[in-house]
Structure 1
Amino acid sequence: MAEIERVIPQKSAEQFVYVAQQLRREFEKTAADVDASGAYPADNMRLIHETGLDAICFPREWGGVIGSAPNEDLEAIAEIFTELAAGESSTAQIFNVHRGLTFELFSGGAMSNERKQTLHREIMKEDARICSPAAEPTKKRFSFQTSCKPVPGGVVIDGTKYFATGCEGSRYGVAPVLMDGFSSVEDGGLHWVLVRLDAPGVTLNRDWDNMGQRATGSSSVTFNNVFIPDGSHWSGNAGGQRSNPTSAKNISGPVSQIVMAAIILGMGFGALDAMCTYIREHVRPTNPEWKDQTEDPITQHHIGRYSTMLAAARSANRDAARSVVRFMRKGGSRADVSVAMMHAKVAAIDAAMTTAGELHRLCGGQSTANKYRLDRFWRNARTLSTHDSQDVKLRQIGSYILGGVEPPANYVT
């Protein structure tokens, strides 16, 4: 394995784009095996830790590289996750969840300084990870039923969470719960807990068996009378971007979606890399006068088409990240930021799905053999792109352009 440079001193997120490019080449060597096994990508996560990339998870006052205006580095963050996902996309998704939660915990005022110091040591010295057991199978988004009851010295939680990406390799989970005495989170009942996943009463159900992003371990987690000590739980209004996502000034939705688009985009670049490698090494030339299939004009045409779609989507995502920075610095229309993000995400999905979906078209029948796992790019892109509706985004873009109807401010717009 090639030695990957550790960035010292740590000054900016942009420095880590080069590190992510190196990690991409390491991750892609074992990506097919990671997909085949579906096991937590422990080696990849260890490499992330060893290269110092955890610095993008922390504010500067905690030894990280993210400044007081956290989204100033969004373009670099998106580039980092495009590179990581091009190498192995489950790893990128797991690390992005950990990054977002870690930054929020350390930039907000919900936890005591003493608790932060302990958690910082665990992450930086022991490679501890954090996941997000948040979702519940209700028809209404954020209609949480996992209960939270005050007890002496803390709270006790009961319930089941789903899509806990990275839980199989995480030490902690950050979970939204419903405080006892409230009928809903809208009534003020939203509460957050930082729970150890090896605590008594916590069960990782290991029931993630989806076609794509197989190594994310996005299983359900059951909490049965789990005690959370004081200092590791807080009110939903205690600060952080999650406290009021519907505010016209809150851009956590576009920010998170730009990074999501970056990961999907990386899947497309990974598919293009794998396609070109397979064509060079395995595909017989359709014309005996050619040295290899790379001389085929039709193949050249399609590779050019995929590359152009991916490049355009990457440019759109960079523009969306810059629109966030402009909004932070100068204000303006949140709707414009949201639409820029939606343009980028739709373009990223289309580019990745087209590239991954047509891979076998150029690589031929032998490329469908399971030993190559080349279908993983399409499976991964299709799986992650269903996180929220692409069609709704297209309708919201059109509604804004035609009638000036602004997209709602929420977690995905």
Structure 2
Amino acid sequence: MDGQSTRIAVDEAQDDDRIDAALAVLRPRFAARAAGYDRSGEIAFDNLAELREAGLLALALPRAHGGRAIGLRRISTIVADVARGDPSTALILAMQYLQSGSVGRSAAWDDAVKAELFASIRDEGALVNALRVEPELGTPARGGLPATRVSLHDGVWRLNGCKIFSTGSEALGWGVVWAATDEASPRVGQVLVRLDRPGVRIERSWNQLGMRATGSHTIHFENVEIPARWLVNLNRPDAAPGEELSAAFESTIAIAALYDAIAREARDWLVGFLKARTPSNLGAPLATLPRFRSLLGEIDALLLANEAQLEFAYQRDDSGRGLGADALLVKHNVTEAAIDAVGRAVAAIGNPALNLDNPLERHYRNVLCGRIHTPQGDAVLAAAGARALG
């Protein structure tokens, strides 16, 4: 290793220590606020401000643009740490990292446009997310063309349409919008949009059972003027997915790590509850009962399997071999095991588990949302079966 490489390694190790120290401070703060934001359904803007002040929003940017170019392992561990405090904030952060990294690696984006976006993230603390899902079509992972259209009239491109489930909505500075041109042979792909432009409107439609503070509202685009340079990656509908497929595999693992973290937080709450709860007819903590000891063994077995599968994915990514379609199975397995783990805790302790004053019911509502992220379980298993059977 040459002198420069050694210096970079030392600097990054010191930076990792700084990041971990910041997360150790922020996580309990986020946890203390989580119930309030869950009740209100508002985005935790103070959490995001503290992540910004700690220098954590730009970590996935390329080094040349002031970031650390953190990879999947580090993205996932940071997101999981934040999720132990507030998973809604963690999901917004995950989207920030995944989009920043994907754009940074993309050969389709013009370097000047990358620099424009990255400067906004670095200097303003702007947030970015992909905006893809539509009311009529649903998730694009199941096929079809977007109804959101970008049209050229009198030399000006304008964007019209809407996107639902837009995580971060009111907190976002930028959207990477999945859209199609209205040309005779439409092109489909990404349109970069600054979300403070005239014609962008947010409809506060997100009122879900779980992950309530993600602000995943509907964003409407009404004749939004788009500079031509922001039409960044438009191709024929039958073009090979290429970069998008790789980014999708990465996203599934980071999302799985987030929901695994929710289950781990639920598990730790359960341990504390069982140690503290001493029924008068027992005269000892519930933790002394064999059935609860077996229950914790079952939960820990599920979480150990999750840890092993996530590590498998991280090692594949670290080695440069790529995640491949196995990433989809890892996401499915990890999220289902996380749901199972929290569900067992809820079933075992009865009414206290569903008391709104206890965090376990919130963890249960949140962890259930792991199933809604693309790809959904039926598609994952059908694809795996098709690969096996040809």
RMSD: 2.9
Q: Secondary structure at the match of 1:132?
A: strand
Unaligned runs of 5+ in 2: 1-9
> Structure 2 counterpart of 1:284, which letter?
T
**What corresponds to 2:193 in structure 1?**
195
Q: Which residue of 2 aligns with 1:95?
A: 93
1:176 aligned counterpart, secondary structure: strand
* 1:148 aligned residue: 150
Mapped partners of 1:177, 1:391: distance in 2: 26
Indicate whether 1:58 and 2:61 are aligned: yes
Kindly tell me: are residues 287 and 182 of structure 1, through their superposed partners in 2, closer, same or farther at Cα, counting changes over 3 Å? farther
Identify the match of residue 180 of structure 1 among 179, 182, 190: 182
CA deviation after TM superposition for structure 1 residue 306, in Å: 0.8
Counterparts in 2 of 1:30-69, with a 5 A limit? 30-66=33-69
Q: Please give the secondary structure, in 2, of the residue aligned with 1:168.
A: helix
Amino acid across the alignment from 1:261: A
Secondary structure of 2:224's aligned partner: strand
State the SS of the aligned residue for 1:266.
helix
Equivalent position of 1:323 in the other structure: 316
Instruction: Report Cα offsets for 1:310-340 as digits up to 9, x if no partner.
Output: 12112111102212344x35x8xx7xx322x
How far off is 1:301 after superposition? 1.7
Q: In 2, Cα distance between the equivalents of 1:392 and 1:106? A: 29
8 Å CA contact 2:58–2:125 kept in 1: the answer is no
User: What's 1:252 paired with?
Assistant: 247
CA-CA distance at 1:51 after TM superposition: 2.0
Q: CA deviation at 1:151?
A: 4.2
User: Which has the larger displacement, 352-361 or 92-101?
Assistant: 352-361
Residue pair 1:135, 1:142 contacting (<8 A) in 2 also: no
Distance 2:291 2:21 in 1: 33
Residue 129 in structure 1 maps to residue 115 in structure 2? no
The Cα shift of 1:43 comes to 1.6
- Provide the residue aligned with 2:4 in structure 1: none
Alignment-derived partner of residue 275 in structure 1:
270
- What is the count of residue pairs matched by the alignment? 373
Report what 2:334 is aligned to.
348
- Deviation, structure 1 residue 366: 3.4
State the alpha-carbon separation in 2 of the partners of residues 399 and 306 from structure 1.
31
2:5 aligns to what?
A: none
Match of 1:167 in 2: 169
1:152 to partner: Cα distance: 5.5
Asked whether 1:262 is paired with 2:253, we answer no
Classify the secondary structure of the residue corresponding to 1:375: helix
Residue 209 of structure 2 aligns with which residue? 211
Contact preservation (8 Å) 2:260, 2:338: yes
Using the alignment, how far apart are the partners of 1:395 and 1:114 within structure 2?
41
Paired residue type of 1:266: A
Q: Tell me how far apart the structure 1 counterparts of residues 103 and 147 of structure 2 sit (CA, whole Å).
A: 23
Note if 1:158 corresponds to 2:154. Answer: no
Question: What is the identity percentage for the equivalent residue pairs of Structure 1 and Structure 2?
Answer: 26
**Pairwise CA distance, 1:183:** 5.1
Query: Compared with structure 1, are the counterparts of its residues 98 and 356 closer, same or farther at alpha carbon in structure 2 (3 Å cutoff)?
Result: same
Quick one: structure 1 residues 398 and 233, their matched pair in 2 at CA, closer, same or farther if it must change by over 3 Å?
Answer: closer
Query: Does structure 1 residue 366 correspond to structure 2 residue 366?
Result: no
**Following TM superposition, by how much is the alpha carbon of 1:250 offset from its aligned partner in structure 2, in angstroms?**
5.2
Aligned twin of 1:70: none
Letter in 1 for 2:376: S
Matched-pair contact (CA < 8 Å) for 1:286–1:296: no
Cα contact 2:102–2:247 (8 A) shared by 1:
no
> 1:244 and 1:51, CA in 2 relative to 1: closer, same or farther beyond 3 A?
farther
CA distance in 2, matches of 1:219, 1:378: 22
2:270 is equivalent to residue 284 of structure 1: no
Report what 1:411 is aligned to.
Answer: none
Q: Check the 8 A contact 2:45/2:171 in 1, yes or no.
A: yes
Structure 2 distance, partners of 1:324, 1:24, is: 27
